[in-house]
A and B are shown apart, each in its own frame.
Chain A
């Protein structure tokens, strides 16, 4: 069941290899046309791609913003897409730890992957989204308000929030721009970031439920929203499932 169920749509999703992105593909894969990108092709995603020509995957490493924007544009051109209904810019990375111990390489990787690349891709997609009267969705994080143990990640997500807020006004009437801020989600991100979630991890929102809430927020074209455990337990994920 997907909230985007009125008609078949063309969707670009960055970071579809794992986590929330992968769950969005599981949700949309049977009904919509999808181009997805990521640093590599995971076995989970490869399983979904099998016998589904409506979903294509391209390798794009957002740590190299210009190259990533080129790869994504090529992947859309390969499908002969000149319009786009939805762009969901979800790819991201982050490192946890004492901010003083973050070296320049990590700071740069976090900012380029999460912020620079997302801005460049958004700019590339402008003509396609404008023609398709589409929706641009940036996936932020509840950390965008600040996080001492996750400083550069929080900064990059705050950057997305500020960028989206201004761009939404610029593109008003042409393209809907929204930024959604997932709270802690039970994905591999925290382990990859070097964070031990301990018992708190049990209370994190399951990725499928987070994907449901994102789907719902996109369909409802909200400007910006925090998507958290509380919202999950208050029943929004049920709503999103169409119950």
Chain B
């Protein structure tokens, strides 16, 4: 059987590194896209090709796309790279807002559309977007981030049928808090890290569900229950989120 090819953005750390480790272990050929070259990372160094790209810069994304369109197609594309910006919205550096929209929403949308248009997503392939549990709950204390993650969730939902007609299965994952260094930076002081899911566990569940063609993936029971509460009682859930996060914010982080 031919070796399957996967592309992962943001593969150098956190959830992305966990995706890379799982797929490399299962014999996938990996193409990774990262902001910086991370030579010491085991999973990462197993990649067949590595691209360096500042995905928050639309001009670099356009150039990356032109480069990738010259190469072979993919069986799985994981558009994972993303960043948060926490703090009172009015206190966040305005320069961060466009970067967040471009990294979290523009880059995955541009890569998805570009790959589909160039025929780089093979028939029977899988395309995975990473949104956030905040899609169901609101996220006071990260309003701009919440907006970008809602954008990508609805983009994934919107393209599902047109992409299915091309033989591409579209999934979107909504992970809750994970035990990553990125989450650590943004969590309120005193938040308990051990309550957060390990990225390896989340990645395992997400990859399995994606390859099974599941469209909405919420890894973990706690996050699943929270998503149900968010949809059933949006106002109460938003208040709870304010209490859990916004009222405990002591700093702006981006």
Contacts and interface: CB of A to CB of B under 8 A. Distances in A.
B116 interface: yes
A230 interface: no
Contact of B109 (A124, A145, A155, A223): A155
Given A126-B90, A147-B158, A163 B113 contact: no
Nearest to B141: A170
Interface stretch (A29-37, A47-55, A110-118, A189-197): A110-118
B38 interface: no
A152 interface: yes
Interface string A151-187: 1101111111111011111111000000000000000
Contact of B98 (A65, A147, A169): A65
B101 interface: yes
30 contacts: A65-B97, A65-B98, A66-B98, A98-B162, A100-B113, A101-B113, A104-B114, A107-B109, A108-B102, A112-B98, A115-B148, A116-B101, A119-B97, A119-B147, A120-B94, A123-B90, A126-B89, A144-B154, A148-B159, A158-B153, A159-B105, A162-B134, A166-B140, A166-B141, A166-B142, A166-B146, A167-B89, A168-B238, A169-B239, A170-B140
Given A166-B238, A169-B239, 9 more contacts: A100-B166, A102-B113, A111-B102, A123-B94, A126-B90, A155-B155, A159-B150, A163-B144, A167-B140
A154 B94 CA distance: 24
A166 B147 contact: yes
B219 interface: no
A123 B96 CA distance: 12
Contact of B151 (A99, A111, A120): A111
Interface of B: 58, 61-62, 65, 88-90, 92, 94, 97-98, 101-102, 105-106, 109-110, 112-114, 116-117, 134-135, 138-144, 146-155, 157-163, 166, 234-235, 238-239, 241-242, 246
A204 interface: no
Given A119-B147, A155-B152, A170 B94 contact: no
Contacts of B158: 99, 146-148, 150-151, 154-155
Contacts of B101: 111-112, 115-116, 119, 159
Contacts of A167: 89, 140, 143
B155 to A, nearest CB: 4
A69 B117 contact: no
A77 B34 CA distance: 42
Given A104-B58, A165-B146, A170-B140, A116 B159 contact: no
Contact of B154 (A100, A104, A146): A146
A157 B150 CA distance: 9
Most buried by B among A112, A123, A156, A158: A158
A66 B102 CA distance: 14
Nearest to B61: A104
A156 B154 CA distance: 9
A158 B239 contact: no
A11 B118 CA distance: 46
A162 B135 contact: yes
Nearest to A172: B242
B171 to A, nearest CB: 15
Most buried by B among A108, A124, A166: A166
Contacts of B162: 98-100, 148-149, 151
B37 to A, nearest CB: 24
B151 A159 contact: yes
A150 B157 CA distance: 11
